Amino acid sequence: MEPLTLVVIVAAAVSAACWILSLITKDTSWVDRIWSIVPIAYVWIFAGAALAEGKDAARLVMMAVLVTAWGARLTFNFARKGGYSGMEDYRWAILRGRMKPWQFQLFNLFFIVLYQNALLVLITLPAQIAWQYDTPLGVWDAVFAILFLVLLLGETVADQQQWNFHRAKARAGGQLGDGFVTAGLFRFSRHPNFFFEQAQWWAFYAIGATAAVAAGLGFWGGAINWSIIGAVLLTVLFIGSTIFTEAITSGKYPAYAGYQKATSMLVPLPPRRRAPKKSPHPA
């Protein structure tokens, strides 16, 4: 069985489990709970297949190790926020209140379960490219792997700064600064953790593309190949999700509009003007 076929079978089983569990528990956050886990399994399926077939698996093993590091960090951050304790994403509760029950169930099935699980497959498919073109590791592989790790570190720092702020806010009785973090990396981006998350998967794509280029495919079909769809769709998802999240945040915090004017939404950039009062405890 080809590794892509096995990945699709596993993804179908995971999707079915997420949907059934959402109906039984009336909790639609099951995809959130497997988000950081199943991509690890998918990439290791490709790496394991390459090893079993006697291919040059160095690139795929490297890709699998990088995704494992990504998943371990994200799983830890999700767990400490209570993600595995039955806490549903607050955005789904808001959408449920805006829709009729049958509309929300269609949204649950087709977007939350099917689309997001399909996306988790798509972002890992540069591993399929690396499996097809098992060329030796090169300098560009090292460059993109280091970039992936730098972005992973950036996301770790951003999440820690956000965690520290919310813990301090809780200790202060729910009132701290303007109510949202604006210091540290959040001085340069309203969502630096979101930026680093997306950028890691672009670096992952670049490693797969490196294998295709090394096999002689050139720019079209090599550097730019069909597996780019995963990184593109992930970026689209994050932009849409960020806009929705900010609409909720703006309704809660009057000062957020000023922060939006001063600070880039995703890509870290110098503030456009003097930012609102910094929140304490950025790190």
Please name the residue that has the structure tokens 């965690």: 163
Residue 175 has what pLDDT? 78
Residue 219 has what pLDDT? 84
Q: Per residue in 181-193, pLDDT tens?
A: 999 999 999 999 9
Our measurement of the distance from residue 117's CA atom to the centroid of its chain's CA atoms, rounded to an integer in Å, reads: 12
Q: Which candidate, 201, 189, 190, places its Cα nearest to that of 151?
A: 201
Mean pLDDT score, 113-131: 97
Q: Say how far apart CA 117 and CA 18 lie, in whole Å.
A: 9
Q: Per residue in 214-242, pLDDT tens?
A: 999 888 889 999 999 999 999 999 999 99
Domain ranges of the chain: 1-134, 140-283
Burial class (CB in 10 A: 0-12, 13-18, 19+), 121: buried
Q: Per residue in 49-68, pLDDT tens?
A: 999 999 999 999 999 999 99
Residue 283 has what pLDDT? 46
Our measurement of the distance from residue 271's CA atom to the centroid of its chain's CA atoms, rounded to an integer in Å, reads: 25
CA atoms within 13 A on the CB side of 64: 19
CA distances from 97 to 74, 90, 92, 111 (A): 29, 11, 9, 17
Q: Say how far apart CA 161 and CA 164 lie, in whole Å.
A: 5
Share above pLDDT 90 across residues of the chain, in percent, rounded to a whole number: 74
Q: What is the 3-state secondary structure (H, E, C) of 9-59?
A: HHHHHHHHHHHHHHHHHCCCCHHHHHCCCHHHHHHHHHHHHHHHCCCCCHH
Query: Which of the pair, 178 or 147, is modelled with greater confidence?
Result: 147
**CB-based burial, 123-155: b 16+ in 10 Å, e otherwise:** bbbbbbbbbbbbbebeeebeebbebbeebbebb
The alpha-helical segments, DSSP class H, found in 87-191 are 90-98, 101-107, 116-122, 126-132, 139-171
CA distances from 277 to 86, 176, 252, 267 (A): 35, 11, 17, 21
* pLDDT of 142 higher than 80: yes
Query: Which amino acid is residue 204, in one-letter code?
Result: F
Backbone angles phi, psi at 235, to 5 degrees: -65, -45
Least confident of 165-174, 205-214, 225-234: 165-174
Two structure tokens written together for 209: 């593309």
Beta bridge partners of 224: 220
